[in-house]
Structure 1
């Protein structure tokens, strides 16, 4: 097919490829399988794919082979370098995807890379969409992710049956805009986490009951989705990851890199993000403390250390 538009997506004839079966990706792929789609997966460590294979998925030996067997390929991996290798590499997705096929990258990656992939896909008469997500592991399991899509609006609309299985998608604009939205989301969410951490540390020092504190503020200006997801866990020192802290350090770093790369506009203005810079340092404190594999809400441990508490 020349474009994805003429043939609607249905479980009976749309083949799905999936790359990335970590905390988020495995749950998202499982939902696609539950919806009746044929799914082929690629994993650098095939043993991690056993649960999906038991659910009916098939295994590919390379991203290229996976793409050859797929109409739509999703990827959600660690970082921009992984995306570049898996999608643009010599045995990558675009080397195997047939004309009209679509590569959907759901990794939190660099906007410039998303635009590069889009250009490379169009040169092969394929399409690409950048569609990073937010909502943690519970959102992935329950199909309640926020999905930020960049790319051709018609292709995003065509993909809607698949996106609806995973959550709610918003088309943010051209290629790269989905990734820019995710970075802005991380800047916002990171600030909320740091604020919640400081609020909890202050409340504890003031002698407040922390559970009562969260209940008291949840419907006020201090309440947030971040508090709903992580507040109780932070009180209980439950820092099991729903997403690794090393990823938010990466995302905040990409945001600061984009700001540094951007030139002044015609009025001499540049973007300055002092809060994001400070918060990146605080989250990086977790890495320095050897806590890079903890959840992002573990940033409260850094605030506690700064206050003399282990």
Structure 2
């Protein structure tokens, strides 16, 4: 499987999980099964007036990718760059799409690059209050947010960091964790992001998910304040071997906080043997269904590749064309075969 396959699968799987979970994000499991039947939601339903609609999870993930591409372009052109600051800048562009009408662009030339001009991204899809308030606060790029939140608004967006350096999982971990701290100050939020990115990196190396999680747990041992993330992942590993794991999914929580969302996603991906079943399992619970669906999609997409995702979802998911472009461009810059002068206009390096 090529690097592009892994990246595109990760992004597309995340969007599909996000879209499947979007209509039931705020519903209890009993409400979901009452509406969709005993198996719960298994196919796209309308959300935000659109079939296959993505939410803020995918929006922010796409801006993460854009930030990483810009960081690579900057390094190639200037010889120096620290990705968390560039990605933090990308999140502030996402904030503009949530706080201003699209027409605002006409009088603000500082909103450069092509992604911010994609009008379909200028839609509010239940953005997280912590992300909004932290980004609105401004301050220097890379600065740690002045809050103690461990909401899942970090881990839902940070899978792309896993592809930044496949030969150095520790660098992947630290870059994702540092970037997460720009919006969420609690260690469990940043370390969950670091853990997800590291798992993705191991998957991109061709390792199986169980090994990827075990290797990530070994890395977490050296990280102060990681006990909540470690405990959640270890419980997910134990539950994945239980026959009644679906009935015990709630033992991991609702996924509203970072370590819970990560653990639920790991469990659903480990305890199933295909992308469709994993993502369906991840959204049918009393919790943050779109985020757990999105993270599970990131995992199985990077693991199995885009061809393993259900065709009916792929055909209907919103912004598939944008996802494909960003996936291709990220793979190109990470493989080092690009002309930085040509890419600078589309991805200015700041």
Please say whether Structure 1 and Structure 2 have the same fold, judged by a TM-score greater than 0.5.
Answer: no
Higher relative helix content = 2
| TM-score (norm: length of structure 2) | 0.29
TM-score by length of 1: 0.31
Identify the structure with the greater strand proportion: 1
